[in-house]
Amino acid sequence: MKIAVACDHAGFPLKAMALETVRSLGHTALDLGTDSEIPVDYPDYAEKVGRALQQGEAERGILLCGSGVGACIAANKMRDVYAGLCHDTYSAHQGVEHDDMNVLCIGARILGPEPAREIVAAFVSARFVGQDAGQERHARRVQKVRKLESLDK
């Protein structure tokens, strides 16, 4: 699987860990920046991840900013982007399994590298179960969420 990884300056301290974790799990990591702690704007990097998903360059994304909140809000403004802010492993895998989350947002000022590594691994290793027998309720709920996107246009 190809996973786009991007951050703003506040998320930069965890970016190398995220890239390495994705690669160590046998996936391809697409580094979309930023490349330093020089201040930049998180919406620009949320857009890069969103565009990579929309254009088929990546199947999932990881966004890192100071709290994770700003990047999550920005990412969710984009069509076909379903971002979740996760600071625990349960939310990271359950967001994929039940909600078909395709972008993980993490606050680099909230978590240290080891908890963040475990969260990235949980996200990357999870799969949506909505097509499995007995799990159709998740697919039904995800379809209702996706329908909401078209209501505001």
Q: How much is the average pLDDT of 65-73?
A: 98
Q: Which of 65, 72, 86, 105 is catalytic?
A: 65
pLDDT band at 149 (very low <50, low <70, confident <90, very high): confident
Q: In Å, how far are 13, 33, 51, 102 from 5, measured between CA atoms?
A: 13, 8, 12, 12
pLDDT band at 132 (very low <50, low <70, confident <90, very high): confident
Give the three-state DSSP class for 29.
strand
Q: How many domains does the chain have?
A: 1
What is the average pLDDT score of the chain? 96
Task: Indicate whether 29 pLDDT > 80.
Answer: yes
Q: In Å, how far are 79, 80, 106, 113, 117 from 89, measured between CA atoms?
A: 26, 23, 11, 13, 10
pLDDT of residue 135: 85
Alpha carbons 42 and 3: distance in angstroms, whole number: 18
Alpha carbons 103 and 76: distance in angstroms, whole number: 9
87 is catalytic: no
Span 79-119, pLDDT tens digits: 999 999 999 999 999 999 999 999 999 999 999 999 999 99
pLDDT band at 131 (very low <50, low <70, confident <90, very high): confident
Give the CATH number for residue 141: 3.40.1400.10
15 CB burial (10 A radius; 0-12, 13-18, 19+): buried
Task: Residue 108: give the domain boundaries.
Answer: 2-151
pLDDT of residue 75: 98
Q: Which of 9, 72, 98, 105 is catalytic?
A: 98
pLDDT band at 153 (very low <50, low <70, confident <90, very high): low
Give the three-state DSSP class for 43.
helix
DSSP 8-state assignment for residue 6: E
98 is catalytic: yes
**Higher pLDDT, residue 16 or 137:** 16
pLDDT band at 151 (very low <50, low <70, confident <90, very high): confident
The CA-CA-CA angle for residues 74, 22, 87, to 5°, reads: 50
133 CB burial (10 A radius; 0-12, 13-18, 19+): exposed
The CA-CA-CA angle for residues 124, 61, 128, to 5°, reads: 50
**Higher pLDDT, residue 132 or 118:** 118
